[in-house]
Structure 1
Amino acid sequence: MSALYRDTQAYVDTAAVQRNLSKIRRRFPSSVQLMAVVKANGYGHGAIQSAEAALAAGADMLGVASLEEAVELREHGIQLPILVLAPIPPRYAELAAALDIRLTVTEAGWFKQREEFRQTPNGAPLRVHIKLDTGLGRIGLRSREEWKQLVPWLKRKDIVVEGMFTHFATASWADTSFVKLQYERFLSMTQWAHSSRIFPTLLHCCGSASALRFPEMALDMVRIGAAAYGFYPSALAPQWELEPALTLRSALIQVKQVSAGDTIGYDRAYKARGEEWIGTVPIGYADGWSQIMQNGEVLVGGKRAKIVGRIGMDQLTIRLSEPCRAGDPVVLIGSQGSEKLSCTEAASRAGVVPQEITASLTGRVPRNYEKLSKDEALQKEEYAWKPKQDLLRRF
């Protein structure tokens, strides 16, 4: 790790990620596989470190959002099966096959385009998962006609149809009616495969919220992303008691006393109501602490301090309840004394989900990692994936 010259830093407890995944793993039958989703740099927690925690917890597969994310895992010696959860440009399909990366497909046109770029027709088989749109409305096929157009491509000898999946739109709602409707649609649509003599071994529809709330819908695999990092609908699934894995800390760089009528920040967005102490913290929207956090709070001296004025690119200002000094610690996510500010609370104030906050933390915020709590006997080298003859350079 390079030298750290700034007080604004994140601390990631990979043991918490491991414990969360282990707890979820244990509560499902061994027949149900566990996919750990480590996309978006492990939701801001670190993709490689999260993948290693998932391996130690017994995960069967990893999920990512792009081929770049999958290749990065392979380059760092991660051997677990990887599924890219969205379609990639067809011209990179052979690279994925060579690296044993599973791909999501949604339409016959993707395979037609792939043919234009194929250079090794007798290369490694391509393992695919078919995405079905049962109501989320983003990607996936919807109609029987779309399926029929896809079937001839799926029956080719170089294609292995490993899975079929969908994603729920309202898994965190108290009203479960639409989740159940999507589930029934999915089961019905999977029969298209059987009628076409195609038999995927992995049917999966549950992400974190639905897996925790509706374990009866687990089918062959559950996809655990947000819950791995401690984010889940605790009011609807209180029995889980998962742990947050990330703490965000900084320190005051200046404290000043202002008078009634003095204004703070761009656009004079905050006006002091009397004699007040204002502290400046070196974190801003270039660090991922967006202006949507302007009504939030931080912890200083074990007390809550409200963010005031506009959040800038590099700094924000807070109203202190008492005089403080430059260098005093600030907690944006985590605990200080008897006070606690969870990422879930901060997200609720901002009107977003907690994973948006951690995933938005940029590279300007160093991540400091605590080691896995156990199972370190699982040596990383044992799972190291070694490309043959500089495979990556050939694509």
Structure 2
Amino acid sequence: MLKWIEIDKKIIEGNIKSIKSVLKKERLMVVVKSDGYGHNCIKISEIAEDMRADFLGVMNIYEADVLRKNGIKLPVMLLAPSLTEDMDIILKNNVIPTADDINFLKLLNKKSKRIVDVNIDVDMGLKRWGIELKDIEPFVKEVKKLKNINLFSISTHIAYTPYKNMVEAREKLEKFKEETDRIKKIYPSVIVHAANSLVFLDFPQFYFDMVRIGNLIYGIYPSEIYLKRPNNPVKLGIKRPWKFFAKIISIKNVKKGESFGYASEIVATRNMRIATIPVGYSDGLATSPMENVYQITEGQKYWGVINGKIAPFVSKPAISHTLLDITDIQEARLGSTVSLAIRRTAANSDIPRIYI
């Protein structure tokens, strides 16, 4: 096998267990949008069921439909609003839609022959969807007039980046709490939720009734920030279940001063050993925006690891291969395994996933 991804199911189970150990009475939603962040939404959902999570979160009804067709029974919530054309499939799959439009709910009320649980989302500044905070109470009162609609939950998503807007995030969460506390006095059964992975780590006072965890389930967090803090995920027990590997398929010796690569734009700064791996940007490798110029300095941004040693990229990845500088890794040979970093949701779905 030339390239593959290894996903450790035991680590994912352990991450869910670690998150649940912090919770008291709060429910846990495991977010499996974007094919479980590239880990396979079905397998992650099956693990979530085994670990007794309370809900699954997806972005849209089409992701939910995949879960239902593969036998997933856990309650599923759509985290983004749907279109009226999707109502039949929403009702068929018995999922919880998110809404911010009373006309959508009125039509859903009319079409349904049973009571449908719904989630109302509140916009706290992202401006992607959601009702305004000041409109929660009148909106909820309109919803309660619909006999086939049950106000199941109220949510928000705070735009929060650690160390950048902690004060602003806390203020928004406090305002959200004030409004939802008023709603819960009238409708005490309503579930309130706002805590994604970062809010979960930094604002435990705002877990409300449920936490929605995506990134931490998959061991994703800004390590350069959290590993220096007392609430770092490693101490919590969070590990990374994902490893991406490729094998060296060619090795070339390049003399100092020799030019090579597309348009001969790369000039060797020393005598070099150059390895080729069969992974490129079509696989999702190094897909962040960069200038369309090949530079010897790409290794400052991206690298592989061979036997624990760094092998810098010599240039940007091509469509299906990448060059690595293995000059200082004498043991590297044809067939040697290279560990690579890749954005998980960008990893080509055709790359084999091996679950261990």
TM category (shorter chain) comes to 0.7 to 0.9
Aligned partner of 1:228 among 217, 242, 254: 217
**Residue 107 of structure 1: aligned partner:** 101
In structure 1, distance between residues paired with 2:46 and 2:22: 21
In structure 1, distance between residues paired with 2:237 and 2:44: 19
**Residue 81 of structure 2: aligned partner:** 87
Aligned partner of 1:180 among 170, 175, 180: 170
In structure 2, distance between residues paired with 1:40 and 1:291: 17
TM-score normalized by the length of structure 1: 0.79
**Residue 348 of structure 2: aligned partner:** 362
Give matches, 1:261-272, under 5 Å: 261-272=257-268
User: Is 2:2–2:246's contact at 8 Å kept on the other side of the alignment?
Assistant: yes
How much has 1:109 moved relative to structure 2?
3.9
Question: Are 2:250 and 1:242 equivalent residues in the alignment?
Answer: no
Percent of aligned positions that are identical: 26
Q: Deviations over 1:369-388 (max 9, x none)?
A: 12xxxxxxxxxxxxxxxxxx
Question: Are 2:40 and 1:46 equivalent residues in the alignment?
Answer: yes
State the SS of the aligned residue for 1:169: coil
Structure 1 stretches lacking a partner, 5+ long: 1-5, 334-342, 344-356, 371-395
In structure 2, distance between residues paired with 1:62 and 1:166: 16
User: Is 1:251–1:329's contact at 8 Å kept on the other side of the alignment?
Assistant: yes
In structure 2, distance between residues paired with 1:192 and 1:91: 34
**Residue 335 of structure 2: aligned partner:** 327
Change (3 A) 1:143 1:215: closer
Report which stretch shifted further, 264-273 or 49-58. Answer: 264-273
**Residue 212 of structure 1: aligned partner:** 201
How much has 1:198 moved relative to structure 2?
4.5
Change (3 A) 1:310 1:190: same
Aligned partner of 1:280 among 268, 276, 281: 276
**Residue 311 of structure 2: aligned partner:** 305
User: Is 1:169–1:179's contact at 8 Å kept on the other side of the alignment?
Assistant: yes
In structure 2, distance between residues paired with 1:215 and 1:281: 44
User: Is 2:200–2:211's contact at 8 Å kept on the other side of the alignment?
Assistant: yes
State the SS of the aligned residue for 1:152: helix
TM-score normalized by the length of structure 2: 0.87
Amino acid in the other structure paired with 2:261: G
In structure 1, distance between residues paired with 2:131 and 2:329: 59
Structure 2 stretches lacking a partner, 5+ long: 290-297
**Residue 12 of structure 1: aligned partner:** 7
Change (3 A) 1:219 1:205: same
Amino acid in the other structure paired with 1:185: K
**What is the aligned-residue RMSD (CA, Å)?**
2.3
How much has 1:168 moved relative to structure 2?
1.6
Q: Deviations over 1:85-134 (max 9, x none)?
A: 0011122123212211111111224336658xx6xx35233221111012
Aligned partner of 1:58 among 52, 57, 73: 52
In structure 2, distance between residues paired with 1:187 and 1:264: 60
**Residue 160 of structure 2: aligned partner:** 170
Change (3 A) 1:315 1:61: same
User: Is 1:28–1:215's contact at 8 Å kept on the other side of the alignment?
Assistant: no
User: Is 2:274–2:324's contact at 8 Å kept on the other side of the alignment?
Assistant: yes
User: Is 2:122–2:136's contact at 8 Å kept on the other side of the alignment?
Assistant: no
State the SS of the aligned residue for 1:308: coil
Change (3 A) 1:146 1:21: closer
**Residue 293 of structure 2: aligned partner:** none
Work out the number of aligned pairs and report it. 337
**Residue 127 of structure 1: aligned partner:** 117
User: Is 1:164–1:200's contact at 8 Å kept on the other side of the alignment?
Assistant: no
User: Is 2:254–2:268's contact at 8 Å kept on the other side of the alignment?
Assistant: yes
